[in-house]
Amino acid sequence: MIRTEGFVEGDHMRKRRFGLLLLVLIVLGMVTACSKKEEDNPLDRLASYTKLWEKEQWQEMYDQYLTEDAKKVFGKEQMIERTKKVFEDLAIENVQTSYDALSEEAMKELDKEKPIHVPVEVVADTVAGPLTFTVDVPLVYDDAEEREDWYIEWDPSFILPQLSKDDQVKIETIQAKRGEIIDRNDKELAINGSGAKIGVTAGQFDVSRDGEKLASTIGTTKDFIASQLKQDWVQEGHFVPIKSIPFTQEDQYDAALKIEGVTASKEEMREYPYADALAHLIGYIGKINAEELEELKSEGYHESSLIGKRGLEQLLEKELRGEEGVAITIVKPDQDEEITIVEKEAKDGETVKLTIDAEFQKVILEEMKGEAGMAAAIDPKTGETLALVSSPSFDPNEFTLGISSSRYETLANDEKQPLLNRFANTYAPASSIKPITALIGLKAGTLDANKTYQFEGKTWQKDPSWGSYGISRVYETPNPVDLKKGLVYSDNIYFANEALNLGKEKFVAGLKEFGFDGKFEYAYPIRASQISNDGSITSEGQLIDSSYGQGEMLMNIVHLAATYSPILQDGTMMKPILFADEKKGEVWKEDLVSADHAKLMQTYLRAVITDGFAEDANIKSLKISGKTGTAELKASKEGSGQENGFFVAYPTEKKDYILAMMIEGIEDKGGSNYVADKAAKAMKKK
């Protein structure tokens, strides 16, 4: 029994062991079958490979997935180093791959003896925009020991479509056309024009004989011409470029070509047809410098880029520049062929239209005859800026083409500072502000146009408490003095009394209504006008000085012109604008004066011309109304200083524009009447 029982027990244990062994074999068989299935599926290998592709893991791709043949033919230099460089140079990123799964039937017919080909779609971002291509990926089964698996038969077409081992990859920049600037009448102010590269023919040009003549003709130096001819590459008969000039400078061009050995070739360039007339407003472009490149290289600028340097060319750089295009091209030396695989088209810059009347602007600058000063003209109905002048000026074409250091020094050291943009700054407006002071008093009810005063002599004090402070006037106004005479004779004593009647608080409030609020919203960066350094008036002396545009009061020339528009617009002042696409006739300030007071002021401003001291503006061909002003600039009350003359005027009958002009240093030129004369001549020619 014991044996029997033992036999029975032993048989049971054997059965259990056999069952466990069978289970293990089945499980191992299943695992082996699964592993074999995964191993036999080439798309599993491709999936792992493409994940590394998308992550740019070139070394791992090379080590674990490339066929031995691919490694022998291309090596690490092509697969790893070249791929890295192409990706870096072309800014390739965000690579995505996709392909179709193999069908069950295809899997059944899979033959390890033959490579399979899987079309893989590749999508990526590049410096030239999105790139999409399909590459045929061959997978080869390697049955060598420890390599039993599918491998990728890589070639350079995996990097870029149609790329071969000896091909070159080229990035081409497609230049965008810079936007042009035109005036209200479509006159060209800044254009993509052409000019001439003036040069000499080596062996035919005699520097010792004609060097100085050519230098003075085109604005360079004899030494520079000589140095150009001494360059290593120069041989007899070679054309040696000296300087580029726009075709607008016909006189220079014609005179230069008359010199023996001088010739020229056509060259594309930025042109400024109105030259000095609009230089400060339009500005110019020039070659980008190192500091600018460092700041802007991420925006596509490079060492040879041209960039706005001053004026609207600089202010509107983004709009005018446009966007460069980029083309990625494969060059096949053996086939003498270039294949563009992706291209981003250039986007030309915008055309910018101004409200400026270029011909009027030109006339104004010509009439200022190089005097240091500025001018602005606006349309009182629309707020459009018709002219914005800084004098003296310079030719922006010189800077665009590369100004010589000696020429730049001449401009920089000129005592009249032609490079200074005066209309962007502020100046004491002097008596040209008196009509505004009067309008503030009329609205506040503290000024009665018919009220008269008796003033004797050229000086006046309120009372002895003023000490040494007193008011002086240039001329003795015939008594009795009312508002009309106060304006016609520009009587400081009259306005001092009216300022005291008005008071500091009401005067400051009135000035703020006229735009003295510390802000000046304008398309061109111009300094805002100010009542004083801190915006307040703290003493009677400061109140009086400010009432006739002295003290700490400063104004920009556009604002000064605009403050006269309520006189012509029944109390409304339009927002000054510079661009044609800005809203015209947008109210900036309103209800500044009544229609009756505006009419009254029109009458008085005409009398300033006919009866006052701006007699040179009293011309027969054009009736003009306006007001002069003379600001004396000196460090102390003793002695005398430089005087700036102002004149703000408009055509009496048409009232279609207001011109404000300032000229510096008029103390020995007849005072503000000197300015009135120049302004009137410009208005006559408009």
The residues that are catalytic are: 431
Distance in angstroms (rounded) separating the CA atoms of residues 589 and 385 = 17
Token output for 435: 């009509």
CA distances from residue 220 to 216, 225, 240, 398, 468 in whole angstroms, order as listed: 6, 8, 15, 11, 58
**Cα radius of gyration (the chain):** 41
Helix, strand, or coil here: 441?
A: helix
Token output for 587: 């109210």
Classify burial at 347, counting beta carbons within 10 Å of its beta carbon; exposed 0-12, middle 13-18, buried 19 or more: middle
Distance in angstroms (rounded) separating the CA atoms of residues 133 and 233 = 46
Handedness of CA 151, 153, 155, 158 (dihedral sign): negative
Distance in angstroms (rounded) separating the CA atoms of residues 276 and 356 = 15
Distance in angstroms (rounded) separating the CA atoms of residues 48 and 51 = 5
Neighbouring CB atoms inside 10 A of 237's CB total: 9
CA distances from residue 384 to 423, 513, 626 in whole angstroms, order as listed: 16, 20, 20
Token output for 132: 């999409």
CA distances from residue 201 to 213, 243, 251, 265, 499 in whole angstroms, order as listed: 16, 14, 21, 12, 73
Helix, strand, or coil here: 623?
A: coil
Alpha helices in 355-459 (DSSP H): 358-368, 396-400, 405-413, 434-444
Q: Where are the beta strands (DSSP E) in 325-458?
A: 325-332, 337-344, 352-353, 373-378, 385-391
Q: Where are the beta strands (DSSP E) in 575-678?
A: 587-589, 624-633, 642-651, 658-663
Q: Which helix (H) or strand (E) holds 18?
A: helix 2-40
Token output for 351: 């055309």
| Chain centroid to CA 685 | 33
Helix, strand, or coil here: 393?
A: coil
Query: Which residues touch 457 (CB under 8 Å, ≥6 apart)?
Result: 476
Alpha helices in 287-334 (DSSP H): 290-296, 311-315, 317-321
Q: Which helix (H) or strand (E) holds 460?
A: strand 459-460
CA distances from residue 164 to 79, 156, 334 in whole angstroms, order as listed: 12, 5, 11
Handedness of CA 355, 359, 363, 369 (dihedral sign): positive
